[in-house]
Structure 1
Amino acid sequence: MSGVLAVRNPRTGEVDYVIEPPEPAELAAVCGDLRKHQPEWHAAGIGHRAAVLRRWADVIEANAKAIGDAEMADTGRSRVAHEVPYLVAASIRGWCDAAPGILDGARLHGVSSVSPTVSYDTEFDPYPLLGVISPWNHPFLLSTLDAVPALLAGCAVIIKPSEVTPRFVEPVAAGIAEVPELAAVLRYVTGGPETGQGIVEEVDALCFTGSVPTGRALAQTCARRFIPAFLELGGKDAAIVTASADLPRAAAAVLKGAVHNTGQICFATERVYVDETVHDGFVEELTRQARLLELNHPDIGHGHLGPFILARQADIVDDHLADALARGAVLHCGGPSVTLDGGRYMRATVLTGVDHDMKIMREETFGPVVPVQACHDVDEAVRLANDSEYGLSAAVIAGDETEAAAIGRRLNAGAVSLMDTSLTIAIMRDVEKTSYHSSGLGGSRMGPNGMLRFLRRKALLTRCGPVPDMDSLREDA
């Protein structure tokens, strides 16, 4: 695993950073050190762990500019990069507030329903070492999404962020070092796929956010090792717009859900099904709004659509667009990606005349493209929305919430936004959801289970009276 990995700047296209992956022995030593300190971390109790993590939240806010500057270089965007440290700090404090109640609520204790002289209690035993392999589209935020509740549960955690966006690790790791109790049980390592595979061989449980093929390969390794894998994978989120919907509102919701962060969000709106009676009016309004959006170039502090973080992703989006146009789709605005000062950009792109024979309606696009298909009625829209190998999330925009909810209940997706799109970000600690089909595997990373999945339950069973002897079990008793 010797040698360095070059890191490209998404705004300039130039290599301006390198990382040096750890050798296998070095990685094993890091994992061994984390394991050594985990029992003390767990034994200290939830109050201590929460207090330590609150100190880390304070450090993150104190170092917010350095972290934001590093993530800005990683992703090519400014506003979100500098907001993320505060979002992470707030999330940490929120989990610290919620964790004691989550543990109390999950603890079962009482008397057996079939044997009144047997009582039971619950003990929680965390997986000693959790591995987190996080993606490039939201580097710092997604590296902590699983790690924070796992730390509160009592795990030690090793995190490998994407080799595409590793710059943020330096200021984050410097902040962790300011909290020694945390530094003993939380470590970031940088490297490529080999480092990720090495982590899977060392840990007791794995969280992975990324593509379906990589998730499937890691799941196979976890299955061989008989360790749990919690996988948050791809999406091809559908949005349904009914005949009764307010079209300007629907267009605004769909556009935001589809092109925010240049479409580089796992729960981005990637296909839209619109009642045929309002299809033309909806497309006209959607196109009008889309044409108002500006590229975030040359001024990083201006505009709506930043560069593709990963240059190869622009090629994938261009391929999906070319395939659709070759098969008869109609382009209303936008078009293929363009290279500006070395960065790859794409304007908000609206397509009609699409169908499920096209890549853009089947495969994860991960770019600012909005393909719109007309439907005869709600039944057809639901059928098409459910005709996918993915089931991460979805959306319904109707005349009112009751109508939207009735349709949403029919969709095969883990989270369904009603009267808007991409509302998943609002429920991280509040409610659980399960990914459908190829969009994920394992328990919910949201709601109470976001923490409880890292705990093995141990039942403590007590006989409160005389022990029945073998005579009570005689055949003729």
Structure 2
Amino acid sequence: MTLLDSVSVDPRAGRPIPDAATRETIGYAPVHSSAYLDEAIAAARRAQPTWDAIGHVERSRILNDIADDIRANADELAVILSREQGKPLDGPNARFEVAAAELWTRNAADTRLEPEIVFESEDGRAEVHYGALGVVAAIGPWNWPMMITVWQIAPSLRMGNTVIVKPSEYTPLSVLALLAIYNRHLPSGVLTSVVGDREIGAALAAHSGLDKIMFTGSTDTGRRIIEGSAHNLARLTLELGGNDAGIVLPGADLSQLIEGIFWGSFLNSGQTCANLKRLYVHESLYDEAVAELATLATEVAMGNGLQPGNLLGPLQNQRQFDTVSALVEDARARGARVVAGGTPAPELGPLFYRATIVADVDDDARLVTEEQFGPVLPVLRYSNIDDAIIRANNTEQGLGASVWGPDIDEAKTVAQRLDAGTVWINQHGTLNPLVPFGGLKASGYGQEFGVQGLKAVGAPKVISH
């Protein structure tokens, strides 16, 4: 039996899940009730003390075994992911995401978290130790469903917590396939999935049996989770939307940087929270940058993810396709210049939208003020760096940003003035499992990855003597 067959339920008891590219049904996801949710959390609560008691060494061994198992099943996982989410197998897409799921699982296993000595004198000493919180809810998105689920569950498990996973209703099968591999190695009750629509997600966030909620998704949904968690006082880690700005400084060598700028924006067909969403280019380089980006957008291979060579896939769902289309049309109606793309690609499939570069767009266009989450990049002109920084910071969100230029010290000076949790120089969106990641403003709070990520799912305890 394949992994997909093992997680797909009887059609009479489930909800059809379409192939993102063709819209043909690829399987059926379970639809769980609030009673099922109650039972899952109760089972997680019962399993947690024993899981915590086995200790870090044994939990790390198990997580490394899981990472090995993910690698052994990487091809099958990548095909499920490509079909359900839409991202191609090739390039920084489905195979890349499965490899990242393995890497972050292994990193959670191997990262050391030592007690911290925060005070020491002849009269005494104070140490901070980190233990398990209890039961963690992991509520994931549809854009990077496997990778981001691992960001949530692997450190939680390592710290001795049990976990309830609620995958996006758009991409449940890929997550269930990943969890099936995890659960080959875990005791019953330690890692459980609850599948359904937003109602079951809301019920999970407000459940009294939780100690921690980790959520990646939109800012609006994050606000509702905050409201729901007021009833259980669960700790929160929220990675919410982003409207990341990039600034290209005078003197930048576009021949060396333009591909990095392009993929910083168009990775996963633009469907990434920390993608570059707005590009501010100095007037001396503006026309060159627009022309080179348009060339890349026109030439990039787009199509069904299972076909070799394709690097961009469809929008994952109709709602996102409609959003992207509306934002481009609004910019066009305001007089913006669409220099590449700007239209759907129905010959490829129902939800394909051509890679699009928009120039001469107003700062108050919806394409600039809202997160497009699709294969569209607005390019804006500036003449004064102070003005560019003000415009880049003029958003309620603050997930990431980037600065592109030849002088690293100058770029660092600009980076210090940008309101973002991460600022990259001559790159955008690159992540490292050892480097903390999180947002500012309405992009959420809390950090993931490395030591900081383990602390985020741990309970600090001060021991003084």
* TM beyond 0.5: yes
User: Which deviates further from its counterpart, 218-227 or 411-420?
Assistant: 218-227
The answer as to 2:447 corresponding to 1:437 is no
Q: State the distance in 1 between where 2:64 and 2:189 align.
A: 16
% identical equivalent positions: 30
Aligned CA distance change for structure 1 residues 261 and 109 (closer, same or farther; 3 Å): closer
Deviations 1:298-334 (A, max 9, x none): 9622222211111211110110000001011011111
> Could you tell me which amino acid in structure 1 is paired with residue 279 of structure 2?
V
**Count of matched residue pairs:** 449
Alpha-carbon offset, residue 63 of structure 1: 2.1
Structure 1 position 453, deviation (Å): 1.2
**C-alpha distance 221-3 of structure 1, shift in aligned 2 (>3 A):** farther
Listed one character per residue, the Cα deviations across residues 6-58 of structure 1 (whole Å, up to 9, x for unaligned) are 32221112344332222222211111111111111112211111011111112
**C-alpha deviation, 1:297, in angstroms:** 4.3
State the secondary structure of the residue aligned to 1:231.
strand
Rounded Cα–Cα distance in structure 1 between residues aligned with 2:261 and 2:225: 33
Structure 1 residue 393 displacement after superposition:
0.3
Residues 132-167 of structure 1, C-alpha deviations (whole Å, 9 max, x = no match): 000001111111112111111111111111110112
Amino acid at match of 1:377: N
Aligned residue number for residue 195 of structure 1: 200
Is the CA contact 1:108–1:121 (under 8 Å) kept in the aligned structure 2? yes
Alignment of 1:186 with 2:196, yes or no, is no
Q: Which residues of 2 match residues 248-397 of structure 1 at below 5 A?
A: 248-297=255-304, 300-340=307-347, 342-397=349-404
Q: Give 3-state SS (helix, strand or coil) of 1:343's partner.
A: coil
Amino acid at match of 1:185: V
Match of 2:459 in 1: 456
2:3 matched to which residue of 1? none
The corresponding residue for 1:466 is none
Query: What is the CA distance between 1:345 and its match in structure 2?
Result: 1.1
Partner of residue 465, structure 1: none
Q: Distance in 2 between matches of 1:245 and 1:388?
A: 25
Deviations 1:235-284 (A, max 9, x none): 11101011110122332222111112110111111111111122112212
Give yes or no for the alignment of 1:78 onto 2:85. no
Shift in alpha-carbon separation, 1:398–1:121, aligned structure 2, 3 A: closer
Specify the SS of the correspondent of 1:274: strand
> What residue is the counterpart of 1:107 in the other structure?
116
Deviations along 1:111-149, one digit per CA (max 9) or x if unpaired, are 4x5xx5444344423210000000001111111112111
Match of 2:238 among 225, 231, 239: 231
Structure of higher CA gyration radius: 1
Greater shift, 450-459 or 318-327, is seen at: 450-459
Question: Comparing 444-453 with 340-349, which one deviates more in the overlay?
Answer: 340-349
CA-CA distance at 1:460 after TM superposition: 2.6
Structure 2 regions of 5+ residues with no counterpart? 1-11
Kindly provide the amino acid, as one letter, of the partner of residue 10 in structure 1. A
Question: 1:175, 1:122 → 2: CA distance?
Answer: 34
SS at match of 1:167: helix
> Residues 71 and 117 (structure 1 numbering): CA distance in 2 closer, same or farther, change over 3 Å?
same
CA 1:7–1:280: 2 relative to 1, 3 Å = same
Task: Please state how far the C-alpha of 1:198 moved relative to its aligned partner.
Answer: 2.3
1:126 pairs with 2:135: no
2:449 to 427, 446, 451: 446
**1:62-81, Cα deviation, whole Å (9 max, x unpaired):** 22232222112211222332
Letter in 1 for 2:343: P
Q: Distance in 2 between matches of 1:249 and 1:285?
A: 12
> Are the equivalent residues in 2 in contact too, given 1:21–1:195 (CA < 8 A)?
no
TM-score of the pair, normalised by structure 2: 0.91
Q: 1: distance between equivalents of 2:356 and 2:100?
A: 30
Distance 1:208 1:35, change over 3 A: same
Contact 1:241 1:250 in 2 (8 A): no
**Alpha-carbon contact 1:95-1:429 (below 8 Å) kept:** no
Q: Deviations over 1:339-382 (max 9, x none)?
A: 23643112221111112210000101011111111101211111
1:469 corresponding residue in structure 2: none
Aligned equivalents of 1:109 and 1:390: distance in 2?
A: 34
CA contact (8 A) 2:239 2:438 kept: no
Q: Tell me how far apart the structure 2 counterparts of residues 373 and 169 of structure 1 sit (CA, whole Å).
A: 38
Aligned pair in 2 of structure 1 residues 240, 228: CA closer, same or farther (>3 Å)? same
Partners in 2 of 1:393 and 1:110 — Cα distance? 35
| Distance verdict in 2 for CA 1:407–1:329, change over 3 Å | same
Amino acid paired to 1:37: A
1:206 to 213, 216, 221: 213
Distance 1:402 1:32, change over 3 A: same
SS at match of 1:448: helix
Aligned residue number for residue 149 of structure 2: 143
In 2, the alpha carbon distance for the partners of 1:173 and 1:250 equals 38
The answer to whether the 8 A contact 1:14-1:342 is kept is no
Given that 1:73 and 1:167 are in contact with CA atoms closer than 8 Å, whether structure 2 keeps it comes out as no
- What amino acid sits opposite 1:428 in the alignment? P
* RMSD (Å) for aligned C-alpha atoms: 2.0
Distance (whole Å) between structure 2 residues aligned to residue 130 and residue 422 of structure 1: 27
**Mean Cα deviation higher: 278-287 or 409-418:** 278-287
Question: Cα distance, 1:110 vs. partner?
Answer: 5.7
One-letter amino acid of the structure 1 residue matched with residue 196 of structure 2: G
Structure 1 residues without counterparts, runs of 5 or longer: 463-477
Letter of the structure 1 residue corresponding to residue 89 of structure 2: S
**Residues 67-121 of structure 1 deviation map (CA, whole Å, 9 limit, x = unaligned):** 22211221122233234333222222222221x3xx21x433764x5xx544434
- CA drift of 1:171 comes to 2.9
Q: What does 1:381-420 correspond to in 2, within 5 Å?
A: 381-420=388-427
2:53 to 21, 37, 43: 43
